[in-house]
Amino acid sequence: MTEAGAESLAEMLDERQHLLEIALWMFSSEITADRIVQETYRRWYALDDEERASIAVPRAWLTRAAGSIALELLAAPFPSDPAHRPEPITDLTQHQVRFSQAMLARHDRVARRFAAACETGDTAALRAVLAADAIVVSDGGGKLRAAVHPTYGADAVARFVTALLTGQPGTEVAAGSVNGRTGLVLRRGGQAVAVVSVSVAGAEVTAVWIVLNPDKLQRWHRP
């Protein structure tokens, strides 16, 4: 993920899932885990170009950062409001909570709201489903590795998504399975032109990951 040779978004999605697994191993709260991952990437992009270039193995750096953030949360005094307390994982049964049908159903509902807003090109509806600190990352569509520049904030993300994904003649926008959870697949003439994965916390989309590289889209093509 150095600026000179950033990973493709497909690889970044795999990397993000790895970080999420670390956070979920320590906390049973999906919301807490997602915040840990978001903070990990915030710290990465807060580094300057020289600092990022000096990191030989970005994935290892991110893994350490995520673990450090999780430990900081565990060591912090609990807030007075129990609803905001992170819940440490105590056994395998709790660790499997993240795979529950209830959580998948919630993600599906939010992702489909997002998909509906994309299908109609409704920027206001997109803004309504996005978290205030939402982020969007796109691979830019190139076949070569290229720098991944995120866009932050619900307003900016809504404008970016509207401009990139909506209003394209002959393009079908459909909800579909992306990395095991509901996402979006955009097709033109049966050929996938974009695949979108979303991260969800509560009733909001916290992150949007857009794959445009045609080499990564072949398995979503339809005959």
Q: Please name the residues in contact with 33: beta carbons below 8 A apart, sequence gap of 6 or more.
A: 20, 23, 24, 27, 98
SS3 26: helix
Least confident of 19-28, 56-65, 71-80: 71-80
Indicate the pLDDT class of residue 48, thresholds 50, 70 and 90. Answer: confident
What is this structure's pTM? 0.60
More confident residue, 99 or 138: 138
pLDDT at 157 over 60: yes
Verify that 92 and 130 share a domain, yes or no.
no
Q: Which residue has the tokens 């489909």?
A: 112
Closest CA to 117 of 170, 157, 169, 177: 157
Verify that 119 and 79 share a domain, yes or no.
no
Indicate the pLDDT class of residue 110, thresholds 50, 70 and 90. Answer: very high
Q: In whole angstroms, give the CA distance from residue 71 to residue 87.
A: 13
Verify that 129 and 180 share a domain, yes or no.
yes
CATH of the domain at 156: 3.10.450.50
Q: Which region, left, alpha or beta, applies to residue 120 given φ > 0 means left and ψ of -120 to 50 means alpha?
A: alpha
**Amino acid letter, 161:** V
Tens digit of each residue's pLDDT (9 = 90 or more) over 121-134:
889 999 999 988 88
Q: In whole angstroms, give the CA distance from residue 75 to residue 69.
A: 10
Q: What percent of the chain has pLDDT over 70?
A: 73
φ, ψ at 30 (rounded to 5°): -65, -35
Write out the residue range of the structural domain in which residue 21 sits: 9-99
Verify that 129 and 215 share a domain, yes or no.
yes
Q: How many residues does the chain have?
A: 223
Verify that 32 and 19 share a domain, yes or no.
yes
pLDDT of residue 112: 94
